[in-house]
Amino acid sequence: MKSHDPSSPAYRKAHKHYLRSTFKSEPDTAAWSAFRLQEKRYKSRFPRPTLDDVLDVASAIDNDHPQSLMKSAGWSCGSCNATPTQSLPLSGNPGGAFIVPRIPGLVILPGFIRPEEQRTLIMACLRDHALFPNETNLDIHYNVPPLGIWSLWEKHWHCQRTGVDPSIDDTIINLKATASSSSKNSESAPSRAAPGRPLTNNPPLSISNFPVILSTPQPPPTPASTLPPLPASQLLYKLRWANIGRSYHWGTKSYDFSKQLGAFPEDIRVICRRAVQAVPWARVWGDIAGDQDWGDEGENWRDWHDSYEPDAGIVNFYQERDTLMGHVDRSELSSTTPLVSVSLGNAAIFLIGGLTRDVEPLPILLRSGDVVIMSGPSCRRAYHGRCSRCPRKVTSTLMSKCHPSPNTAGVPRILEGTLPGYLGPHPDVLNCSSQFYDLQDRRDGDESSGVDWAPFAEYMKTTRININVRQVFPRGLHEAFRLVILYLL
């Protein structure tokens, strides 16, 4: 019996329990912001949300492949008419590109990443990117060996498969802290074994507060002492994020500029640059850029094909019940250059809001291979005339405008059971094609063929990976900035 069958007694019982527990803890729904209401709606397990209001640009393309995958997993369909969109041709991408006039600067590239390339990226995220020297959420609390959690998990998985006693090779990963060493400082200890991302109301990074941020202590988070040691087979499923490139300090929600800039992974850089270079930016911004306040960076979109250079990012790993609460990305000095977000694995609902949490957000269905680009002032950070949270002291000739008030975004739901066949255990059998590509259509550079995909397929059954990539400094500014800072210090 499927848990999403509303006529089943198990479903009805669970629904009752869900309503009781949800509304007991948060009874005052009238006070919820529009963003919070939508988060709640899409998080709901009982009843499962319908997706009729969810923007699904791929459904505009004449092919019922993605819809049938959704239906067989018990999901209703999204709609290409959930909000007006405009389609743009995109050289080399059969899915084209879509812009959403209601959110200037938002560009959706459905199916931009080919199936083989998706597999290669997934393997790299697990094998290479969630690995020292990149920090992961697990490293905060656990003594993860330098080879990383994936290699231990994979080894164990093979043992299990070949019938060797699986417990022999399931390495136990111990905590960093002992009960006596850290329990006093419990504020940064997570409420669950693998912390999500802490919500900190940090001010947007700007030229004027950069020196303050630079001198703000960024102590390492306190390892929790109350978590259980876990075998690698379980700990992998608690992996939530890995930092790539510039080091990010989750406690203060700012980059740790005192740390040496980590090398940005070339595979991700190439894909993000390819996405930014594929977009006809004149079609996105040509008619509307003048209506926006581009702040000190000026109207820089004409240069993006050339100047976009990612240097920081997060790989997010979601299990089926994970969510990413509404948040704003404002830790980058460059607040208009494209933020590129790549989806892999199970599909998800992505919510993007307006200037405040009271603006009803737009829900967007993101599937494996989709790329979303958020660019320009009103999508990355919408400037507006006045902001009561601006500290009066922060007045700088360099900061001509009030702090921007960024758009809120979040991921309230992973859509269970929506892993495409080409990421499953038999990716080469017929009927595993993607909506946009024939699987025979292999590209040069596909490193996934010849590798044992089976363990990756097993992990991806319940997983969504999102690669979220930013450019922290506008091009050319970083060096100038560094010199000024060195001079000031």
Applying CB under 6 A, the residues found at the interface with ligand AKG are 314, 316, 324, 329, 341, 343, 350, 366, 409, 411, 466, 468
Return the number of the residue (466 or 471) whose C-beta is nearest ligand AKG: 466
Rounded distance between C-alpha atoms, residue 420 and residue 114, angstroms = 12
Shortest gap between Cβ of 410 and ligand AKG (angstroms)? 7
Nearer residue to ligand AKG within complex by CB, 107 or 411? 411
Q: Is 289 or 415 the residue whose CB approaches ligand AKG more closely?
A: 415
Side chain identity at 75, as an amino acid letter?
W
* Distance of closest approach, residue 399 Cβ to ligand AKG, in angstroms: 24
Q: Residue 387 contacts by C-beta under 8 Å, 6 or more apart in sequence?
A: 402, 403, 404, 405
Q: Which is nearer to ligand AKG, 152 or 372 (CB)?
A: 372
Taking the least distance from each CB to ligand AKG, the nearer of 150 and 350 is 350
Tokens of 205: 């990074």
Q: Give the nearer residue to ligand AKG in terms of CB position, either 463 or 468.
A: 468
Q: Looking at beta carbons only, is 199 or 480 nearer to ligand AKG?
A: 199
Q: Are 281 and 301 in contact (CB under 8 A)?
A: yes
The two structure tokens encoding residue 61? 């393309």
What's the chain's length in residues? Answer: 489
* Distance between first and last Cα of the chain: 66
DSSP characters over 57-79: GGGGSS--HHHHHHHHTT----B
The minimum distance between CB 411 and ligand AKG, in angstroms, equals 5
CB of 23 to ligand AKG, least distance (A): 27
Which residues are annotated as part of the binding site? 327, 329, 384
Nearest to 103 by CA among 414, 333, 364: 364
Which tokens belong to 194? 């693998």
Least Cβ distance, residue 329 to ligand AKG (angstroms):
5
How does strand 463-470 pair with strand 312-319?
Answer: antiparallel
At 273, list the tokens: 């640059």
In the bound state with ligand AKG, the residue whose beta carbon lies nearer, of 289 and 314, is 314
Q: Which is nearer to ligand AKG, 117 or 322 (CB)?
A: 322
Structural element, H or E, at residue 131: none
CB of 446: closest distance to ligand AKG in angstroms? 24
Shortest distance, position 137 Cβ to ligand AKG, whole Å: 13
Does 223 sit behind a cis peptide bond, omega within 30 degrees of 0 on the bond before it?
Answer: no
CB 422 within 8 A of CB 432: yes
- Spatial separation of the C-alpha atoms in residues 16 and 250, rounded to whole Å: 37
Shortest Å, Cβ 77 to ligand AKG: 20
- Binding residues for Fe cation, by number, are 327, 329, 384
Q: Which residue is nearest to ligand AKG (CB)?
A: 466
Alpha-carbon gap, residue 133 to 245, rounded angstroms: 10
Instruction: Measure the CA–CA gap between 88 and 147, rounded to whole angstroms.
Output: 44
Preceding peptide of 133 cis, ω within 30°: yes
**What is the spatial distance between Cα 408 and Cα 405, in angstroms, rounded to a whole number?**
9
Cα radius of gyration rounded to whole Å, the chain: 23
Give the sign of the dihedral formed by CA 410, CA 416, CA 421, CA 423: positive
Q: Which is nearer to ligand AKG, 75 or 350 (CB)?
A: 350
487, 407, 473: which is closest to 246 by C-alpha? 473
Q: Output phi, psi for 340, to 5 deg.
A: -110, 130
Burial call 183-197: b when 16+ CB within 10 Å, e when fewer: eeeeebbbeebbbbb
